[in-house]
Amino acid sequence: MAAPMPSPAATRLSVVVVTHNCRDAVAASFPVLSGQLRPGDELIVIDNASADDTVARVRDLAPFARVVRSDDNLGFAAGANRGAREAGGDVLLFLNPDATPAPGFVEAIRDRPGAWTAWMGLVTADGGTRVNTSGGVVHFTGIAWAGETGRPASAARATPYETAFASGACLAVPRVEWERLGGFADDFFMYQEDVDLSLRVRLAGGRLGVLPAAVVDHDYAFDKGPMKWRLLERNRWATIVRCYPAPLLLLLAPALAATEVILLPVAAAGGWLPQKLAAGGESVRALPRLLRERRAIQARRAVSSADFAAWLTPDLDSPFLGRAGRLVPLRWALRAYWRAVTAALR
């Protein structure tokens, strides 16, 4: 059950921003963010060994911010966890340094509707004209993506709604819930840590939502080099091993094996086969640790496998997956397989 929240008027925010060589990003976002915070709110910046003058920019733009410098690049997940340990507010708000709040963002994100365990705002792109993510989508193979990417922002839903996973670009969590869940997985470094956390929220019986009135504009580009593919694939498998209930994992084993075979030529054609193979090797080596983590996570499961699976999708309709995911025969086959799986779980 989600912990009770203070009234919005009394809620103190601890905004956690993880930085790494992003002086221009903070120059755009921090003046706007700082102007929206209330007395008593916190701004905590975890700097991951920036080699530019990011820290100097932060201190100039937000002299009240608490800046913690790391000698090493901890990655987003471990950096965010470190920021959370520094926080004293009622609600933790993780915000990317290149996410600039729209007017009224902070007040809109401060209030949690109903019994949501974690929530996010509407993340836009291209100067607020298009959607970057309106809430995450998770395929049953663990492939996850930003929902409604590229759609006109004017067409986004106007009232709060639930989502499969909440984006780490703009993620709000009551501090007591964060501590209960154990935060992000440090070893993920970056990518998929928000999917893993969201699935753990679902396992524990919690709910995830989107507040469309809380808008941030994200200076986002999907293609960030070969390492992204390695981390995405490694962390996808870590999420599956850690979070999927055993009955679901057993029923999905054939599909997960087939996905690995299919992804090899896809990765070769896309130029990231070495990263795919490296991710596989890392996943195998990490398996003893992941299984230990799985036992602790699954011991806290409070929902049925069918309820957990209800937030997964059989459709591969991400714009980042190309035409193959939208082929009609493949869609029919995936939907038929998923119907059989969910029927078995029930």
pLDDT band at residue 328, thresholds of 50, 70 and 90? confident
Contact 222, 318 (CB under 8 A): no
**pLDDT at position 7, please?**
55
pLDDT tens digits, 73-105: 999 999 999 999 999 999 999 999 999 999 999
Residue of 8, 129, 17 lying closest to 66 (CA atoms): 17
Cα–Cα distance, 234 to 19 (Å, whole number): 23
**pLDDT at position 2, please?**
54
pLDDT > 70: percent of the chain: 95
Contact 120, 224 (CB under 8 A): no
Asked which of 89-98, 103-112, 153-162, 224-233 is least confident by mean pLDDT, the reply is: 224-233
Residue of 41, 14, 218, 210 lying closest to 118 (CA atoms): 210
> If you average pLDDT over residues 131-153, what whole number do you get?
95
**pLDDT at position 322, please?**
66
pLDDT tens digits, 274-322: 999 999 999 999 999 999 999 999 999 999 999 999 999 999 887 777 6
Question: Which residue is it, tokens 């390695």?
Answer: 230
pLDDT band at residue 112, thresholds of 50, 70 and 90? confident
**pLDDT at position 233, please?**
96
**pLDDT at position 324, please?**
66
CATH numbers and ranges of domains, the chain: 13-218 (3.90.550.10), 228-345 (no CATH)
**pLDDT at position 9, please?**
56
